[in-house]
Amino acid sequence: MQSIRSVLRESIEQLGLVEHLTVAYILVSLACAALCGLIIYFVYKLFYRGAVYSENFALLIVLTTVVTAFIVITIGSNLVLSLGMVGALSIVRFRSAVKDPLDVGFLFFGIAVGITSGAGLYPFAIIATVAISLLYIIFTLIGRGKRTFVIVVKYADSAEEEVQKAVGEAKGKLRGKAKYKGENELTVDIKYAKSSATVLDKLLAIEGVKEATMVEYVGE
């Protein structure tokens, strides 16, 4: 009487799910994943838009790409082993908070490239990596024309009209307003190009404005 394991193995072989891997296939798949991962790494590093760049996260993208390719190669070679690996990966929990949603996109970018490389779709992996990278670079260069700033203005009641006029001319978006005894605090979001006049200087020139602070907002 055949054991359950042998019966399952024969069934898998009949379905064609067992793939005899070669060293060349493994090396080419991992090399393709590493190459695409390096492209993503340099794109992330050179065109990073956040406040604090993390070299460790950039390296994590490369490692994620290669490790994902390794997992896909393993899963594709043996169905039984793939079931065990899926169960093992399901217990993994990541506690680190990702501040920038764009970082999550780069992680998914690396995972997708790792999957295609591990599946042996090398041309697709390389073409998709270059195309998505160019798309990201184009949008980054376009977005650098205008930047978003958060301006906090503290002023007396007498300067209310002038402050509102200056904010309106700059097309500022109200974020919050607080009122104290004879004093106001206004918080607005303003987008303007580098060549535009500084809104902060206009606000500080208004009589009754006691303090004005401008901080660039990067989405974190």
Tens of pLDDT, residues 5-37: 565 555 555 444 445 567 888 888 899 999 999
Residue 94: name the closest of 104, 84, 102 by CA.
104
Once rounded to an integer, what is the mean pLDDT over residues 62-72? 88
In angstroms, the CA 94 to CA 123 distance is 32
Q: What is the pLDDT of residue 75?
A: 75
Cα–Cα separations (whole angstroms), residue 115 to 30, 64, 68, 73, 118: 11, 10, 6, 9, 5
**Is residue 87 within 8 Å of residue 139, measured between CB atoms?**
no
Q: Where are the domains of the chain?
A: 4-143, 146-216
Residue type, 188: V
CATH label, 146-216, candidates 3.90.1150.10, 3.40.190.10, 3.30.70.1150, 3.40.50.300 = 3.30.70.1150
Q: Residue 50 pLDDT more than 90? A: no
Contact predicate 133/87, CB 8 Å: no
Tokens of 117: 């490389």
Instruction: List residues bridging with 186 in a β-sheet.
Output: 153, 177
Q: 147 with 194: CB under 8 angstroms?
A: yes
Task: Give me the pLDDT at residue 85, please.
Answer: 58
CA 135 to chain centre: 14
